[in-house]
Structure 1
């Protein structure tokens, strides 16, 4: 990068820290420049369009900046984005640090509401190649990632996981024929309370 591009990158990073956002309009408002916001937005867009910072290089920089001997709690999440006329689903895996998740891998998928286990396994394989199995403490993910094939892959890969479940999910103890909804099983809990189900439950 030449000096102008380096200064632009530094200003983007500083604006992200100040605004606590990746919204280009918010970044432009906090940009270290006397130019008007519309001009700064175009400058940021031109910088991003160049694709100067590769995803794996950015991920490596994040990982190298974190404590060397630490184990990582990972997050997996997805969100729908619209870029002009095009709609995308962004699947991302991040590292938990100081109350936020730092994205290290993400992929753009055709617009839909749910991912396949192939896509979920694919992005996790990229994460493992970056940080290794040994540094993964566990994976946290939302209800949409409860695919049985993905869970089997996590188990085979010896990656601990904590996935949210839908409250209307039917579950039963192993050996019993009748199932109950999760909200019924946990109906005695008050807000903020928790319980560990030690038996084997089938869902």
Structure 2
């Protein structure tokens, strides 16, 4: 079994496509790891095929225009890859946007906080410029809840774009905690009915210090706990929450993982902005390809750090390289090297979908538990 066969069989258990479409998807996935640019012209060159480059290009065009994607299936694939089922996790929401010609490309993404770079699960292409609205956010999160429930959600983390009374009330009605940054000039009302800007509660903080208020204030029609920290720049970071937590600022900072995700999908990884897609359905399908490629590289990076060579930690306290980039470099080197070995390929296929329960520690090293290599054992 070669790498393409292993990937096709693994993905078939989730995606339900026939062999021709799975073959096309796998070819694009491997080409993406080689080219590191989400551009069909470049992917066509990197696809391993005896057909003409123009034929490969047209085949990819047909794939993105004709193939139906079940995004619930893709979400289950991703959640299973990281064995999130049964775990508790924070979710984070954010947008990434760029411009191609006169088209504004704008993707709202819901991701799971995980080891420094959030894992994308659902996304929505906004056919407009600017911020999302509460209906779009609710639709995205409701889709997640319909598939995975809400009992394991520790909270939703989001930046200043994601404020608003209707959105907050909906989260509270679903009993979902949230930690959302608000603007310094946001108006609040205390228990005595006095209105003021929230920054007045944290005006005397010095850089690096933070304060957690013990009593709730009314913001956007919701009674919330407020906490604040003064950044080294002098800017205030103020967080609103519908539940009390002892470390709201540190928890909110986990939101930055989705920024790291977008960097991996853009300039530090797959250069998604190189795409010439402008139609929302095709951009959404493209995001599925990128998400699966990102998750695979991240999984391989985790495996390499645990079993091959740990990443060094520099003086500033951060690792010399992201786990994603560690795995991506290894995969690209393996795919482009002349001495690829079947066992290495099969190991990485297994790691592609292998959650921790299939791993065992022997002699201080992570190894695979014995099991037959088929889609049932990986599902």
Match of 2:65 in 1: 49
Match of 1:128 in 2: 145
Shift of 1:174: 2.7
1:143/1:163 contact within 8 Å kept: yes
2:111/2:121 contact within 8 Å kept: yes
If the length of structure 1 is used for normalisation, what is the TM-score? 0.77
Shift of 1:106: 2.0
1:24/1:41 contact within 8 Å kept: no
Query: Which residue of 53, 65, 80 maps to 2:81?
Result: 65
1:179 aligns with 2:201: no
Match of 1:166 in 2: 183
1:200 aligns with 2:216: yes
Total equivalences in the alignment: 199
Unaligned runs of 5+ in 1: none
Computed over aligned residues only, the root mean square deviation of the Cα atoms, in angstroms, reads: 3.4
Residue by residue over 1:76-134, the C-alpha shift from the partner in whole angstroms, topping out at 9 and shown as x without a partner, is: 11233556765454322122222222222222333031222222222211111011011
Unaligned runs of 5+ in 2: 1-16, 220-379
Shift of 1:46: 3.7
* Between structures 1 and 2, the one with greater strand share: 1
2:187/2:195 contact within 8 Å kept: no
Query: Of the two structures, which has the highest relative contact order with CA contacts closer than 8 Å and spacing of 6 or more?
Result: 2
For 1:195 and 1:17, the matched residues in 2 are separated by 45
For 2:33 and 2:91, the matched residues in 1 are separated by 21
For 1:22 and 1:139, the matched residues in 2 are separated by 31
Q: State which structure, 1 or 2, has the greater radius of gyration over its C-alpha atoms.
A: 2
If the length of structure 2 is used for normalisation, what is the TM-score? 0.45
Shift of 1:41: 6.1
For 1:159 and 1:135, the matched residues in 2 are separated by 10
